[in-house]
Structure formats: C-alpha cells, structure tokens
Amino acid sequence: MKRFLLLLFALMPLCVVARDVPPVDTPAQWEPQIAAFEVVDRTQPPPRNAALFIGSSSIEHWKSLAADFPGIAVINRGFGGSELPDSTYYVDRIVTPYHPRAVVLYAGDNDLQDGHSPQQVRDAFAAFVRKVRAADAGVPIAFLGIKPSMARKVLLPKIRRANDLVRAYAATQKGVTYLDTFTPMLGGDGQPTPNWFVEDGLHMNRSGYKLWIAIVRPWLDKVMH
C-alpha cells in the first residue's frame, strides 16, 4: 500500500500537466496567431469603422484585401485551418475590440471536412452571430457561401446543404446576409471547376477572388455608406 501511495503521488503532477495542455483540435490551438494579431493591433492600430474580414484560409490568403476594396477601410483577421467555432471563441479579441462597421465571415469549409454536419455549420454560424451581436446589436454580418472546391468535391452535397441552411437562417435575422459565392463557382454541369483555384484545388487564385469581390462589394457599399 505504501508503495502504491508513493507511485500515486509521483504521478499526480503529470496528471495536472495533462489537463492543462489543450487538445490539438480546440480553439486554443490558435492562441499564438491570435496573440500575434493583438501585437499588430498595439503597434499598428487598425482602422476605425472598418469592414472586418474573418474566418479560415480563404480570408487569410486574401492579401490584396485593402486594394480590392478601395474607399473602404478593411481589417483581415483570417487564420488558416480554422473552423466556425474558432472564430466565435475569439470574438472578444479579434472582433469586438475593432467595433467594425460590418463583418464578412468565410468558414465552414474545414468544419465539413472535419466531419461536422451541415446543421452543425448552420448552428455554429448562429452562435457566431449571437456572440458578435451581444457586443454590437446592429452590426451587419455577411456569410460567404462555402466554396465548391476541386479538392473537396466529395463534400459537395454537404456544402450545398450547409449553404442552404445558412441562407435560410440568415433570412430570419435582421442585418444578417448570405452572399452566394457558391453557385457562380460551379460549372455548367453543377460541379466544381478548376477555373477559380490554385494547383492544390482548394485555395483560390486571382480569378476566384475577383469573383468574390464582385459579390461582396455591392453588399459593403450598401451597409458601409
């Protein structure tokens, strides 16, 4: 018994350490990137009354964002690989402090790839809206339709369903808009086409972003002015 108790006490610190280390697939894995955003915010304060773009790699890779929307102040807070709940988790740090004039969100792509259902995508977006609106009840929010990428053609039925559910939810919310960046990216046969993507078939090329600009700009013009 004495030997057992000594072994138990020896293992207790390891148990504490194990609890304190977050699992890989939790929002906490993004802490270094969120902290890096906060460092930038302190050294280069972001513009006021800006349009905030947030979400996964399609936002993070949008390096020409400011030039693509002349006359509109923008903030890019995309972090690649993230899912919808990740953006929600960090709303208090990379949304609320900016007091944005509008919020543009792209996410859900990775959620479906990770096995989440279209209903979970819709519910996760609703949770994002609630958290953002808890701090600013009137801020307009747009959801960019999940893109039909070549690399994830197998997910097309789920992507279509998730977009339909988000569109239906947005229609019930004041100031929440579903922007259809899905349908225009399909080919004439209703399937994904390579036109919009770089070699990996997942991330967009300049043509893809030009298409998105044409869809997002009218909405921003409406809610920002």
pLDDT digit string, tens, across residues 30-41: 999 999 999 999
Looking at per-residue confidence, does 209 or 25 come out higher? 209
pLDDT in the model for residue 104:
98
Alpha helical stretches, state H, the chain: 2-20, 31-43, 57-60, 65-68, 84-89, 91-94, 109-113, 118-135, 156-171, 206-224
Residue 181 predicted with pLDDT over 70: yes
Contact partners, residue 144, CB within 8 Å, separation at least 6: 55, 58, 104, 105, 106, 179, 181, 212, 215, 216
| Per-residue pLDDT reduced to its tens digit, 85-137 | 999 999 999 999 999 999 999 999 999 999 999 999 999 999 999 999 999 99
* pLDDT level of residue 83 (50, 70, 90 thresholds): very high
Please say whether the dihedral angle defined by the alpha carbons of residues 36, 39, 44 and 48, taken in this order, is positive or negative: positive
State the pTM of this model.
0.88
* pLDDT level of residue 225 (50, 70, 90 thresholds): confident
Residue 23 predicted with pLDDT over 60: no
* pLDDT level of residue 144 (50, 70, 90 thresholds): very high
**CATH (residue range 27-224):** 3.40.50.1110
Q: What is the mean pLDDT of residues 3-26?
A: 44
Residue 24 predicted with pLDDT over 50: no
Q: What is the mean pLDDT of residues 20-49?
A: 84
* pLDDT level of residue 25 (50, 70, 90 thresholds): low
* pLDDT level of residue 4 (50, 70, 90 thresholds): very low
Question: What percent of the chain clears pLDDT 90, i.e. is strictly above it?
Answer: 87
pLDDT in the model for residue 12:
44
The string over 177-191, giving b where at least 16 C-beta atoms fall within 10 Å of a residue's C-beta and e elsewhere, is bbbebbeebeeeeee
Work out the mean pLDDT of the chain and round it to a whole number: 91
